[in-house]
Structure 1
Amino acid sequence: MSQYIVLTRVSPDALQTPEGLLDLEKQVKDRVSKECPDVRWKNNLAVMGPYDYLDIFEAPDNDTAMRVSAIIRSVGNASTELWPATDWSNFRDQVLK
């Protein structure tokens, strides 16, 4: 499976209370599990900067990864940026061929 990174910026209107974060997380997790069952989450990070979260996941193809990004945007009233990624060792091996 291919690896992807999605950066998310949640709209200030999307979270009215801290508890809303838990509801948002559950909604995204449930929809991704239902609509993209082949996706495997690797890591979820809160970040400081122009984005709120950085998630790393594996998906079988670009279409599935784009679906995950669309789910996050629609549930979280958020903007996302989606990047394909590869492990450093794989990149290094390709460069040294």
Structure 2
Amino acid sequence: MPIRNVTLICLGLLASACTPVLMLVTQLAPSVGNVGLVISKPWDRSAKNVVATSNLHEVGPIQGYFGVFVMIETDDSVRILYDNGAWFVLDGQIIMELCVS
């Protein structure tokens, strides 16, 4: 009986830890005119290179190692970002709200 309880507790903790990440990864792509967060490999400032190769404009003065905010300008912007090496393109507005609160 105690091993079963430990297993259930571990599964509950794992589910609690994974929920925020799953929420971010499963959200819809940003729409035209909104800010997106481009996540890419962390070496060589790759997210910045993905945005530059996609001919899109960065938003904000702060950049992370594997994340850059970008303005989604057309319906094809998200597809172009993925084609140029983005791992994820998340809704930047939701990310900014999480960071402020």
Q: Tell me if TM exceeds 0.5.
A: no
Question: Counting strand residues as a fraction of each chain, which structure ranks higher?
Answer: 1
Q: Which has the higher contact order (CA 8 A, sep 6+)?
A: 1
Tell me the TM-score normalized by structure 2: 0.43
Tell me the TM-score normalized by structure 1: 0.44
Q: Which structure has the larger Rg over C-alpha atoms?
A: 2
